[in-house]
């Protein structure tokens, strides 16, 4: 690492929040970023955006090079919503919300995320989110690959049954009719794919703090992470 990169790393702390889908990474990351006044990277959204862009531009989901080119050139920006601090992705000038969060899009994202060239194409884009005063980065490989020098690495876990329940309640709350059993099957399949891929598999970095959220509410997790962050001297501006 060059001296300049080293200095930057010290000046701009990263908190990496990794773990499987439905574990509460997104909620925790938003709370942390809001509390600390840090920037936020939802790296899963980038994989989802490539999957969505591929559909729109007729790039096949098994065309690794085509997908990688799309990832590198992806015309996307994240705009802050008027009502809150959540940055919303704007793909080729069009705000994309619900379609990005669908199970289908998540599954497509998980499939294309197995391609090394797609991951490589998104690397610089993800690292560009690191800007003062700090960054909370949410994903699968934030601590292990994208920000190996993160000041704090958290890996959240929860039983697959609990995560399926959470997702089920979320979908029902939105008025979307689903059955629990197939949802549980889909979540397990996606976990397995994300965990077993050969490049940047989902796993805790060797220096990550692993927190089981199965019986812990978001407030409990948030307090625990803030305590560790303050012990490490990570604070807002
Ligand atoms: O977090 P999410 O559900 O939005 O992510 C969708 C998929 O994208 C996930 O199943 C695997 C992939 N992904 C990844 O491989 N690496 C990341 N850092 C984030 C997401």
Ligand 1 site residues (CB inside 6 A) read 21, 43-44, 47-48, 106, 109-110, 113, 139-141, 190, 194
Left if phi > 0, otherwise alpha if psi is -120 to 50, otherwise beta: which for 116?
Answer: alpha
Q: Which atom of ligand 1 is nearest to the CA of 106?
A: 6
Mean predicted confidence (pLDDT) in 208-214: 96
Give me ligand 1 centre to Cα 216, in Å.
Answer: 23
Atom of ligand 1 nearest to the CA of 138: 18
* Cα 190 to averaged position of ligand 1 atoms, centre (Å): 9
The residues that bridge with 155 in the sheet, in sequence order, are 18, 210
Beta bridge partners, 157, equal 212
Burial (CB count <10 Å: 0-12, 13-18, 19+), residue 60: exposed
Q: Is-contact 16 152, C-beta < 8 A?
A: yes
Rounded distance from Cα 37 to ligand 1 centre (Å): 24
Which of 125, 147, 149, 145 lies closest to 137 in space, CA to CA?
Answer: 147
Look at 5 and 82; give whichever has higher pLDDT: 82
Contact by Cβ (8 Å): 85, 36: no
What pTM, to 2 d.p., does this model score? 0.92
**Residue of the CA atom closest to atom 12 of ligand 1:** 110
Considering only CA atoms, which residue is closest to atom 7 of ligand 1?
110
Token readout for 237 is 């501006």
* Residue predicted with more confidence, 235 or 223: 223
Phi, psi of 10 (to 5 degrees): -75, -40
d(CA 107, CA 112): 9
**Residues 87-124 pLDDT 10s:** 789 998 898 988 898 889 999 999 999 999 999 999 99
pLDDT tens-digit profile of 20-58? 998 999 999 999 999 999 999 999 999 999 999 999 999
Please compute Rg for the chain using Cα positions: 17
**Full set of structural domains in the chain with CATH:** 13-227 (3.40.50.300)
Q: What's the 209 CA to ligand 1 centre distance in angstroms? A: 20
Encode pLDDT of 129-171 as tens digits: 999 999 999 999 999 999 999 999 999 999 999 999 998 998 8
The alpha carbon dihedral of 95, 25, 150, 134 has a sign of: positive
Evaluate whether 87 touches 78 at the Cβ level (below 8 Å).
yes
State the first-to-last Cα distance of the chain, in angstroms, to the nearest integer: 26
SS3 content of the chain, % helix, strand, coil (to 5): 50, 15, 35
Residue in this structure with the two tokens 């958290």, named with its chain if needed: 154
Burial classification of residue 35, based on how many CB atoms lie within 10 Å of its CB (0-12 exposed, 13-18 middle, 19 or more buried): middle
d(CA 6, CA 53): 35
């Amino acid at each position: 690492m060059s001296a300049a990169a080293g200095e930057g790393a010290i000046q701009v702390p990263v908190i990496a929040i990794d773990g499987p889908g439905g574990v509460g990474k997104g909620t925790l990351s938003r709370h942390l970023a809001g509390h600390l006044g840090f920037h936020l990277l939802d790296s899963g959204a980038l994989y989802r955006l490539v999957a969505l862009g591929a559909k729109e531009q007729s790039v096949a989901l098994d065309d690794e090079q085509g997908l990688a080119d799309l990832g590198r050139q992806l015309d996307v920006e994240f705009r802050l919503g008027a009502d809150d601090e959540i940055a919303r992705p704007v793909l080729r000038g069009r705000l994309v919300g619900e379609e990005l969060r669908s199970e289908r899009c998540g599954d497509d994202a998980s499939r294309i995320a197995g391609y090394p060239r797609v991951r490589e194409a998104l690397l610089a884009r993800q690292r560009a989110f690191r800007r003062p005063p700090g960054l909370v980065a949410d994903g699968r490989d934030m601590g292990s690959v994208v920000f190996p020098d993160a000041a704090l690495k958290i890996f959240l876990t929860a039983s697959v049954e609990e995560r399926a329940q959470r997702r089920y309640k979320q979908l029902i709350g939105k008025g979307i009719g689903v059955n629990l059993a197939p949802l549980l099957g889909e979540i397990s399949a996606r976990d397995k794919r994300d965990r077993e891929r050969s490049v940047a598999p989902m796993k805790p970095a060797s220096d990550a703090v692993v927190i089981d959220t199965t019986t812990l509410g978001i407030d409990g997790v948030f307090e625990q992470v803030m305590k560790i962050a303050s012990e490490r001297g990570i604070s807002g501006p």
